[in-house]
């Protein structure tokens, strides 16, 4: 028969060991799920709210769930949208030809050869050397084609070098504007394609990062966020976005959703 004192000590050992294991597992559980990282299939979504980016490009917030179909624009002022975080930095400006809407756009240019029409009337810019055009509440067609920008759509308000223009049902139209800087905040695009560019693609808050070469291709679908095209910058195109999914082809073939 076993010694009663031995059996009592043996039981105490197992109880203490079990308690340590339970506490350790609980700590791992709260550490992992408390950070907002959820694994769905082969993809990880980070729900941590995004703050201001170091590059100065405004950032957006994302939710840790698969993006629903349709518009990614949120109706609330917090601009929280579902999807994965994607950051791009490129040495060329991608071609974007899409129906779109954006809360704010800004265009800086000094080449006045392109006529800008507001409600079919040309803006008189002849006496201005440098133009800073701010566009609010844009809904319409956009063509960003390397060095030039074309817009055709409705706007809620315009500012030309600080002078505000506003009227109900205001429309702006211009074609092939040679700009120096173009930025868009809270812009919605059905798709963003990148090809023949060198740079970096960062997904899921840094969990996945690619150094892109000219042979690589990137496709982001159902995109919402902010981008900046600055011809004077070393990486002339930068974007901070939320996308429903992403696909890469070239050096590495992968699909994230």
Helix (H, G, I), strand (E, B) or coil at 137: strand
Quick one: 66 and 126 in the same domain?
yes
135 and 245, same domain (yes or no): yes
Q: Are residues 169 and 118 in the same domain?
A: yes
Residue 134 lies in a domain: yes
Biggest CA-to-CA distance, the chain: 107
Whether 28 and 68 share a structural domain: no
State whether 28 and 66 are in the same domain. no
* pTM exceeds 0.75: no
Asked if residue 65 and residue 186 are part of one domain, the reply reads yes
Work out the end-to-end distance of the chain between its first and last CA atoms, rounded to an integer number of angstroms.
62
Domain of residue 6, residue span: 1-34
Are 156 and 246 members of one domain? Answer: yes
pLDDT in tens, the chain (257 residues): 445 544 555 666 665 666 665 655 555 444 433 333 222 223 333 333 223 333 334 444 444 333 333 333 333 333 445 688 999 999 999 999 999 999 999 999 999 999 999 998 998 887 888 999 999 999 999 999 988 999 999 999 999 999 998 777 799 999 999 999 999 999 999 999 999 999 999 988 888 888 999 899 999 999 999 999 999 998 899 999 999 988 888 876 666 65
Q: How far is it, in rounded angstroms, from Cα 217 to Cα 250?
A: 6
In contact, 143 and 96? CB cutoff 8 Å: yes
Per the structure, how many domains does the chain have? 2
Q: Is 10 helix (H, G, I), strand (E, B) or coil?
A: helix
Q: Are residues 131 and 188 in the same domain?
A: yes
Q: Give me the residues paired with residue 99 across strands.
A: 141
Does residue 166 lie in a domain region?
yes
Q: Are 185 and 79 a contacting pair, CB within 8 Å?
A: no
142 lies in the same domain as 221 = yes
174: which strand partners?
151
Burial annotation 212-224 (CB, 10 A radius, 16+ → b, else e): beeebebbbbbbb
């Amino acid at each position: 028969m076993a010694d009663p004192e031995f059996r009592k000590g043996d039981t105490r050992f197992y109880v203490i060991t079990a308690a340590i294991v339970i506490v350790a597992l609980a700590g791992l559980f709260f550490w992992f799920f408390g950070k907002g990282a959820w694994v769905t299939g082969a993809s990880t979504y980070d729900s941590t709210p995004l703050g201001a980016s170091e590059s100065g490009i405004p950032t957006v917030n994302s939710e840790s769930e698969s993006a629903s179909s349709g518009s990614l624009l949120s109706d609330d002022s917090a601009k929280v949208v579902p999807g994965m975080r994607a950051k791009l930095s490129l040495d060329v400006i991608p071609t974007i030809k899409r129906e779109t809407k954006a809360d704010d756009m800004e265009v800086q240019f000094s080449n006045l050869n392109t006529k800008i029409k507001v409600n079919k009337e040309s803006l008189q810019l002849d006496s201005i050397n440098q133009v800073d055009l701010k566009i609010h509440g844009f809904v319409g067609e956009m063509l960003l084609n390397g060095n030039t920008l074309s817009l055709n759509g409705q706007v809620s308000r315009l500012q030309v070098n600080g002078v505000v223009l506003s009227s109900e049902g205001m429309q702006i139209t211009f074609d092939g504007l040679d700009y120096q800087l173009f930025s868009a905040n809270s812009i919605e695009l059905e798709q963003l394609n990148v090809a023949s560019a060198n740079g970096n693609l960062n997904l899921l808050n840094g969990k996945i990062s690619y150094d892109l070469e000219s042979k690589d291709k990137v496709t982001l679908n159902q995109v919402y966020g902010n981008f900046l095209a600055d011809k004077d910058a070393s990486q002339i195109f930068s974007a901070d976005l939320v996308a429903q999914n992403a696909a890469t082809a070239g050096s590495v073939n992968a699909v994230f959703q």
